Chains A and B, each alone.
Chain A
């Protein structure tokens, strides 16, 4: 699973380069997120624009990634495909994360 990241003063953008986050890659995703986010900005935006499918294991891996950041940092999610958004809504995880339709929305001054 490939992640790339870009860091500005207050925000780190981590982009997922996979069309799915599922049971087959959940553990790897969690590990890659730990490595990628280490020592980064207080706010992390996970760019999910390329992700078309997520299952409950993938969802669990995103929750675990937020826990790994600790209470001083925040994980926001951007670019949710309607399918991915539906899984967040059904499990009520949409009440736990800040969700932005696009990466631009997540980076707008009003979002920070």
Chain B
């Protein structure tokens, strides 16, 4: 797997299309040999990152496409997610602070877990905004799959 196996998918940035796209991508990655012990981490982070694009980058603007490019190597996986929506605040990856659970039923958070999960499950996160395009790169390491 010198340069790795590629998997590309693009779909309209709606919740329904994203739901189908996330399922297709994770199935495709497993078929290409993503180690099963890593598959759930990848699916959770991928889903949160794509949902962020649908819910935030394209909020209040006409939704266009979400493009996902995956490259699976022997010991790591790179995923590039790009869109033409609003840039991330401050052109930076948000911090992955978990939502506090609070002390009463009413205080329990119903959201704010997305970036925390992405930080928790990836080995590296990079973001750039170039030519009107958001490019978020997620890397997942899985050293010594046969060890």
Contact in complex: A23, B110 (CB < 8 Å): no
Contact across chains for A56 and B19 when beta carbons are under 8 A apart: no
Q: Which residue of A lies closest to B104 (CB)?
A: A71
Within 8 A of A (CB), among B41-76: 43-44, 47-48, 51, 54-55
Of B82-90, B113-121, B129-137, B139-147, the one with at least 4 CB within 8 A of chain A: B113-121
Is there an interface contact between A57 and B51, defined as CB atoms closer than 8 Å? Answer: yes
Whether A96 pairs with B18 at a CB distance below 8 angstroms is no
Count A-B contacts at CB 8 Å.
75
Q: B9 contacts the other chain (Cβ, under 8 Å)?
A: no
CB atoms of B55 and A63 under 8 A apart: no
Q: How far is it, in angstroms, between the C-alpha of A93 and the C-alpha of B54 when the chains are bound? A: 25
Task: Give the total of B residues in contact with A, Cβ under 8 Å.
Answer: 29
Rounded to whole Å, the gap between the CB of A8 and the closest CB of chain B is 24
Which residues does B use to contact A, with CB under 8 Å? 15-16, 18-19, 22-23, 40, 43-44, 47-48, 51, 54-55, 98-99, 101, 105-106, 108-111, 113-114, 116-117, 120-121
Distance to closest chain B CB from A59 (angstroms)? 7
A70 to B19, alpha carbons, bound, how many Å? 31
Q: Is B43 a contact of A71 with CB atoms below 8 Å? A: no
In the complex with contacts A56-B117, A83-B43, A23-B55 CB distance below 8 A: yes
Cβ–Cβ contact A60 & B47, under 8 A: no
Query: How distant is the Cα of A59 from the Cα of B99 in the complex, in angstroms?
Result: 13
Q: Which residues of B contact A64 (CB under 8 A)?
A: 110
Contact A67 B43 (CB under 8 A): no
One of A24, A60, A66, A83 near B18 (C-beta < 8 A): A24
Report A74-93 residues with CB < 8 Å from chain B CB: 82-83, 86-87, 90-93
Which chain A residue lies CB-closest to B19? A24
**B114–A56 touching, CB < 8 Å:** yes
Mask, A49-70, CB within 8 Å of B = 1, is 0000101110111011011000
Contact partners of B23 in chain A: CB under 8 A: 20, 53
- Check A57–B18 contact: CB distance below 8 A: no
Contacts of B108 in A (CB 8 A): 63, 66-67, 96
| Chain A residues in 8 Å Cβ range of B47 | 22-23, 53, 55
Q: Given that A67-B105, A90-B117, A92-B98 are contacting pairs, would A55 and B40 also be in contact in the complex, using a CB cutoff of 8 Å? A: no
- In angstroms, Cα B111 to Cα A60, docked, is 6
> Hey, which chain B residues are within 8 Å of A22, CB to CB?
15, 19, 22, 47, 51
